[in-house]
Amino acid sequence: MPSATTQETETFVSKTTSSTRERAKRTFDILFSLAILLAFSWLFVLLTLVVACTSRGSPLYRSVRLGLNGKVIYCWKFRTMYQDADTRLKQLLKNDPQLKHEWQTYQKLKSDPRITPIGQFLRKTSLDELPQFWNVLVGDLSVVGPRPPTLVGPPQHYLRELHKLYGPSTFRILSVRPGITGIWQVSGRSQIPMEERRKLEEHYAENYTFWSDLKIVLKTVPAVLFSRGAC
């Protein structure tokens, strides 16, 4: 049986290691997101104009998500849906049991009538997520991390709904910042059922390192270029 001193030492080493990897992760997030924002500022302007000119509404969309430790955050994306998308989704899920099952399984619809024509292109290429590098810079998101699902309903119900999807893994997954990309992104994206995503993201939350994050970033490039699992 380990002594009290040994247990205290192990706890101290564990906390120090965790703190070090969190600082390394945050440093990488700041430098990487700042580089992307500066290098692709011209693309931000171009896409803003394209979205604004091809459908009614703001070119940017603010998505309500759960961040670190269950905090409600607002993620910015280029708008890919029509203005009344939330209303359309509720009606679709109410009137079509097959679509409701698809939504509950993948948290996405393969043939989603809410998406605009230019929105289809932005989603296929993941360009709709470029504004989220601002979220990374300010600390709401990480470059790499779990991907919280889009939940329908008032914010005060989000944690309860997320628990229905992730079960006992919920708080472990929420113990790290959600990411623009993650293990789910390089493993099939929208083709992965929620149960499999839960296992992947729980494993990531418990075992991530700077090098594992870097590997996921490098794997994300071909996944995006070839639109693997995009929806």
* Per-residue confidence in pLDDT tens, the chain, 231 aa: 555 555 444 444 445 557 888 888 999 999 999 999 999 999 999 999 999 998 888 999 888 888 888 888 899 999 998 877 777 777 777 777 777 777 766 666 777 777 888 998 998 888 999 999 999 999 999 999 998 666 666 656 666 767 777 777 888 888 899 999 998 878 766 567 777 888 888 889 889 988 889 999 998 887 676 655 554
Residue 18 lies in a domain: no
Place of tokens 């910042």: 177
Q: How far apart are alpha carbons 44 and 54 in whole angstroms?
A: 16
Write out the two tokens for 106: 């993948």
Residues 71, 79: contact at Cβ < 8 Å?
no
Residue 216 lies in a domain: yes
What integer pLDDT is reported at residue 150 of this predicted model? 67
What integer pLDDT is reported at residue 130 of this predicted model? 94
What integer pLDDT is reported at residue 14 of this predicted model? 47
Q: How far apart are alpha carbons 78 and 99 in whole angstroms?
A: 25
- Which domain does 27 fall in, by range? 23-225
Of 17, 136, 127, 20, the C-alpha closest to 67 is: 136
Residue 94 lies in a domain: yes
Q: In this structure, how many other beta carbons lie within 10 angstroms of the beta carbon of residue 53?
A: 9
Burial of residue 2, with CB atoms counted within 10 A of its CB: 0-12 exposed, 13-18 middle, 19 or more buried: exposed
What integer pLDDT is reported at residue 95 of this predicted model? 78
Question: What total number of domains does the chain contain?
Answer: 1
What integer pLDDT is reported at residue 184 of this predicted model? 81
Residue 115 lies in a domain: yes
Residue 40 lies in a domain: yes
Q: Which residues contact 33 (CB under 8 A, 6 or more apart)?
A: 133, 134, 136, 137, 143
